[in-house]
Amino acid sequence: MARTISVAETVLMLFCKAPELNTVKTRLQTQLSAQQALAAHLELTQLSLVRACQIPNCAVQLHCTPSPEHAFFRDCAQRYPITLVAQQGEDIGARMANALATALTTYRYAMVMGCDCPSLTHQQINQAFEILKAGYDVVIAPAEDGGYVLLGLSAPQPCLFNAMRWSQVDVMAETRLRIQQARLRAVELPVQWDVDRPEDWQRYLTTLRC
């Protein structure tokens, strides 16, 4: 299907859960209260939005669950130059695959990432787009926990998402294997870390928080 290219060639899609007590950053609650975990989620999301909006000539979408109508998401759309989109799919793989396939009907290059990776700078995100523009099929940022925190494509690649066992320590290894099997040209960014456990939050507080 022919695609209509947007004024912006690139789109960055941030995946985010609505901030509700006891539904976000629950693994932090072994050392933080539910309210503190919620505050951590909010802070990391705001940081991600600020960095995303620093990427030059790049559209930014906030992919929301369960609904873009949540007051927090609507407030974000007022404060930042972003578009709200509802996540579509039964698991995170289907949601990422759907988001990328849809975006690539409008944009030449599309990228997905979460809202809890403070180690990933806006310069690295911009570098990822430059890699795609240089002709690579895939750009990916591995995570210390065995997954990945960012994935960018220049064309839909359903083979990277179908029948994947998500939230496992071998997600990145399996993704590398699938990239090789599909003969895709890929570049990996430096390994990143996200905030899932109390020690990750402490690491953020002591090394990255401004």
Half-sphere exposure of 12 (CA within 13 A, CB side): 29
Domain ranges of the chain: 10-203
Would you say residue 210 has pLDDT above 80? no
> What is the average pLDDT value for the chain, to the nearest integer?
94
- Average pLDDT estimate for 124-149: 97
- Average pLDDT estimate for 30-42: 96
What is the three-class DSSP state of 30? helix
Which pTM value belongs to this model?
Answer: 0.93
| pLDDT band at 14; cut points 50, 70, 90 | very high
> What class is the 10-203 domain?
alpha beta
Tens digit of each residue's pLDDT (9 = 90 or more) over 157-199 = 999 999 999 988 999 999 999 999 999 999 999 999 999 999 9
| pLDDT band at 2; cut points 50, 70, 90 | very low
Task: Output b/e per residue, 172-183; b: 16+ Cβ within 10 A.
Answer: beebbebbeeee
Q: What percent of the chain has pLDDT over 90?
A: 93
How many Å is the Cα radius of gyration of the chain?
16
Q: What percent of the chain has pLDDT over 70?
A: 96
Separation of alpha carbons 112 and 155, rounded Å: 13
If you count them, how many residues does the chain have?
A: 210
Q: How many contiguous H segments (helices) and E segments (strands) does the chain have?
A: 6, 7
